[in-house]
Every structure is written in structure tokens, then in C-alpha cells.
Chains A and B, each alone.
Chain A
């Protein structure tokens, strides 16, 4: 029998190794905030001929936007982010680029958010995450109300979730300064979706533990947990796998605009498999046994 529960300290160590660099990055670098959280303008520029990024950058600084961040998309368009601009300034940029780069320019999409709205969005995002977490904890406690200690189950499930969320947040904090990944309201959407979805696998495993405890599979709780994890492992991987397959399809073939969003979903679902199988179950045992591991009683 594969032993997951008694190797739990190894898995907790792996989790720490996954979480700590992310937390450090969050403390040192924080996140690169999208315009809906920090205000500004984001636009996608399309030119009718190939334009070098350096030329575009030079033109933008001549127009007075030296601080603009410019990224080339995989389709050869440019994502330009700068301070909040109005219609007149936008027209000046279009005219300036047209003559400076000698190319027709189309603004494929344009979003502009004022500082006041950005503040509200950021505040609402925090409220949304808080609300979602509280309701999920309550629901999980409710779902496990027939167990001897429902909050122990609810708490463990939520810690597994936070673990998932922390790893994803860490990864995207690191991606923020390495690859310019921006945290915006779509990222929050991805996070909440991940949280709502990842808990599914934990529910499946806990459900099985609950059933096996009732059936009296073993007097040893640690063994019951281990058996339950092994029994449900294939379905946990398979349910996530189907979601990973569709996300991969959208990531590779879908539009550029939602690539970052799908990437966040993808990472979250993959990490979700790990924490459902290797963290959520062992956490329950941790409550009872602490870090000390011992052979299973029969």
C-alpha cells in the first residue's frame, strides 16, 4: 500500500518549499497591479506593418509617455499601459504614432480606469474574497456536521484551500516581476473559481473518509485516511484532468486577452490536485497525532 499519511511531514515540507518563495516575493515585490486596481490606461495597438518594440517605445516617450510599459503579444500587437488618458490625448497618441512610425495604427481595445474607481474595485475585491471564504467555511462545516468535530474538517479543508491560494498567489507575484503578469479583477475571478473548484476534490476525499469511519474500515484513523485517499485518488486526478484539458485548449488556441486568466486557472487546478491528495487528508491526521508518525495499528 502506498503510504501518504505517514509521509505527511515530507509533503508538508514540499508545501513549505512551494509557499515560502512566493510569500517572500509577495513581501519584497508585492504584485504588479492591473489598471482596475491601480488606475491608468491599457490599450492594444495594432499596426498595419511590422513595428519594432524599441521604435514604439521611443515614439511613446517623444509623445510624453516615457513611463509607459510596452509588451508585444504573441500575435504581434502591442499592449501599452500608461497613466489615465482622455479622448484628446488618445487622438494625439494615434496621430503621433501614425506619423512617427509611418504606419496605420488601430486601437483594438482600450480601457481606462480613474483612481477613484480603482480604489473601489480593490476594496470590493477584498470584500468578495472574504465573503467567499467565510461562506465556504460555513458550508464545509455544515456538510460535515455529522462528524464528531465538524469544524476540524471544515478548518482542514480551508487550510488546504489557503495553501492552494497561497501557492498560486506566490507564483503570480513571482511572474509579476519576471514576466509582467498583472493582478486584476480577472485574476481575482480566477482565484475564487480555483477556490470554489479545488475544494471539490477535498470534499470527495473527506466524504470517503467519513464513509470509511462509519463502515469501521480500521480502528486506526490514520490508516482510514490513507485508505480513503488511495481509493479516491484516481477520480480526484481525473476530474481535475478534464478541466485541465479544456483550460489547456483555451490557453493554447483561445484569444490572447484571456490567456493570463486561463493560466491562473490552470495553475490553480494543478496545485489543487496536490493539496487535495497530499495535504487535506494528512492535515486531519495532524490534528489528532501531531507531527509524530508511527506504524498503523491493524
Chain B
């Protein structure tokens, strides 16, 4: 055997052992990676794309400033909600991608994240008798409560003057949930004037222009207050929203994909079964049709599988259902190069070459066909990756990425592992029938 082949053998053995150590056991900690990284469709969760209506922004701010502010507020809200490993990204000009892996209360999370949550205090317009003015339907007419701030300017009292420490408390006696808040210095100055002016009158607390509660002011208050009239979940969401601050512009969901975790678990089980059956079918076919060469292809396939899993685990590649399918399909494609080589080798044997020469010639001549056929698959993968990326279809992206990795790796294993194993094999086993031609 040539020295270069011995070095190659050592290299492949080390690579194989390293990858084997990395993936067995799959859940074992290797350089901080445990198990495979699963996409939303496999472990459940939500994939949301929001679009911000930047035309409604404060004209003194640029779109970038507004988006940055919205993004950081959403981050605070998601973190406060307790989602593990969320992904929050700006997409394009005015879109925000939010991924909530493993989240079960998706509808609650959606309401929490996307709401502007602008808190505004409003007061009544007293008529001649001091009673609130009402419209023809008998509803109270509200107007924004204003007061003079420390700088002498007249200001509306809104949630922007709150300290970020609002919390849910239970009202003593009734146990009804309330959101307790505190004003900052400026807010306290405003609130004091407004409560003084509205003593024994209702004060309307509005969230996004909807009346939440209208308590009657019983005393002049300066620093703090409570919001009543909400249920427990609403109170929790409101506290988080008040602490993160209201969003600068309204958001709308334009793309949503949510998957229940049970479906994901079922998909994983089915994929494993399907993958195993597919692998067995391919191995059976290869061994029955190509005999000894088929055994070598099987060995190469196992090495391929171990390295592929190691790449998936260590990079890590986020696996989606389509991604796993691509992995399985790539097994079918991975043996293609082997088939081309074995067929070529058979021809060389029939033409009267020795086993060793046939292996060499087989690889050399099959190479062009292998290269040409894989490049076109690469082109498809790259275009698909772009396509999936532009509108955030993680499914398409996952498929393209996994297929690309699979096909690249299969080229590597075909031209190194299969070749080397075949070279060694013909040194030991000289029966020509085993390599597919008449003895």
C-alpha cells in the first residue's frame, strides 16, 4: 500500500473516532453541545413575523431609531414572559421576527408582545353642576389629563412616566388582581396635580384607547397607584408591558407559524423510523447488487452518518422536519457516487484490468460525472437557501442547508473513504465475482 494511503487511513480513522466520540451518547456534553438542536416544528413553539407601521412614528425619529427601540422593548417583554432561547431579529426595513421555541402559551405571548400598551390617564369634563359631561348615549366623555411638569411645560400623563417596577398584587380582602405602579419624579408631579383637581371624580385609565378602569379619586396621590378591573393573566401581561414601555408604533402579525409540541415529538419518532427503514433498504440493495463493493459502500455510509450527525450536533445545525427528510434523502444520494465508481470499476475489470488498476481507473473516470452532477444540486440548494431566507421560511432554509451539507459530505466520503476501503479490500479479497464481474 502506498504511504499516502496509509496516512489517509490514519486520518479517516482519527476523524471517525473523533466524530463517534462527539455523537455517542447523543445527549452527552461535548464542548458545551448536548443533543441535536431542533427547530420549531419539532419541539413546538411559535414563529412570528410582525410588521411595524412606521408611518405612525414620531416624526422627530428615524425609522432605524424607532425599530431599535421597538426591538429592545419586545426583547424585554419576551424575557419577562420567561421564554427560553428566544430569537428576536429585525428583518428588512420594518419587520421583526420573533421565534419562541418550546412555548406553550403562544396566544398569550402574542398578545403580550404585539400590543402597543400605551397607558393614558384621562379625566372627565365637569358640567355646570360638577357632574361629568356625557354624550347622547350617556357615556362619559373623557379628555387626556394634563398637568404642568417640572420644566413648566404642560404634559399629558402617560405610561412613559412610570418606574419600570410595576407588579401584580392581590387586593386584600377580595383577592382580585391589581397592577401596582410607581411614578418617577416627573410623573409624581403630574399625578399630584391631576388627583388634586379630580378629587371625588372618576379618573379614566386607558390602555391603547380602551378604558380599563375608572376609579374615583379619594385622596391626593403623588407617587403610586393601582390599576384594577383586569384578570390575573391580563394583569401579568400589563405589568410586563408597563415595565418594558409602550411600543413606539403599532405592530401587526403578517406571518405566523405555531406548532404544538406533541406534533413535534410525533414527527421526530416517525422520522427516526422512516430514516432507519430507508437506510436498511439502501444497504440491502447495495449489498445484494454490488456484493463486496456494496459492503464497502455500507461502511462508507455508516462513517458518513456518524460525521453528518457530528456536524449537526456541533455546528449546531437546527434540524427541522424537512431538514431531517433532507438528511435521509442525502443518504440515498450519498451512495450515488459509490454506484458510479463501482459501475466504472466493473467496466475496467471486464476490459481486463487487474483489481488494483480497476479501482484507480474507476475513481479517476467517475470523478467528472460525480462532480458535474453534484454541482447542480449545490446550485439548487444555494438558491433555495436564499429563497427561504428572504421571507423567513425556516422549513425551506432547513431543507436547503441540510441537503447542502449532506451532498458535500457524501462527495468527500465517496472520494476518500470508499476509495481507500476499496483499495484495501482488493489487496485482501481477490475474488473478482465479489466485485461484480464473472470470476
Contact = CB atoms under 8 A, between A and B. Distances in A.
Interface string A235-258: 100110111111111101111011
Contacts of B378: 196
B328 interface: yes
A112 interface: yes
Interface of B: 41, 49, 51, 107, 110-111, 252-260, 262-263, 266-267, 270-271, 273-275, 277-279, 281-282, 285-286, 289, 321-322, 325, 328-329, 331-333, 335-336, 339-340, 343, 347, 365, 368-369, 372-381, 383-384, 386-388, 390-391, 393, 395-396, 399-400, 403
Given A203-B369, A243-B333, A249 B278 contact: yes
B403 to A, nearest CB: 7
Interface string A101-128: 0000011111111101100110011011
Interface residues of A, number: 72
A68 B138 CA distance: 41
Given A112-B255, A128-B386, A87 B321 contact: no
A296 interface: no
A186 B322 contact: yes
A246 B321 CA distance: 15
A109 B259 contact: yes
A87 B110 contact: yes
A235 B340 contact: yes
Most chain A CB within a 10 A radius of its CB, from B41, B343, B403: B343
A132 B278 contact: no
B376 A114 contact: no
Nearest to B47: A111
A249 B285 CA distance: 14
B285 A245 contact: yes
Contacts of A110: 256-259
A121 B391 contact: yes
B263 A109 contact: yes
A159 to B, nearest CB: 15
Contact of B49 (A117, A232, A248): A117
Contacts of A261: 322, 325
Contact of A247 (B111, B273, B279, B329): B329
Contacts of A139: 375-376, 379
A275 to B, nearest CB: 14
Nearest to B114: A87
A189 B322 contact: yes
A16 to B, nearest CB: 26
Given A113-B255, A196-B381, A246-B281, 12 more contacts: A108-B263, A113-B254, A128-B384, A128-B387, A136-B380, A186-B396, A192-B383, A199-B373, A231-B347, A242-B336, A250-B328, A254-B273
A201 to B, nearest CB: 8
Contact of B369 (A36, A125, A207): A207
Contacts of B270: 253-255
Contact of B325 (A185, A197, A250): A250
A258 B387 contact: no
A261 B256 CA distance: 20
B274 A249 contact: yes
A7 interface: no
B295 to A, nearest CB: 15
A120 B379 contact: no
A13 interface: no
Given A193-B403, A200-B376, A255 B266 contact: yes
A265 interface: yes
Contacts of A188: 387, 396
A111 B302 CA distance: 37
A44 interface: yes
B383 A128 contact: yes
Contact of A249 (B49, B281, B322): B281
Contacts of A121: 391, 393
B322 A132 contact: no
Nearest to B334: A242
Contacts of A87: 107, 110-111
A254 B320 CA distance: 13
A262 B324 CA distance: 12
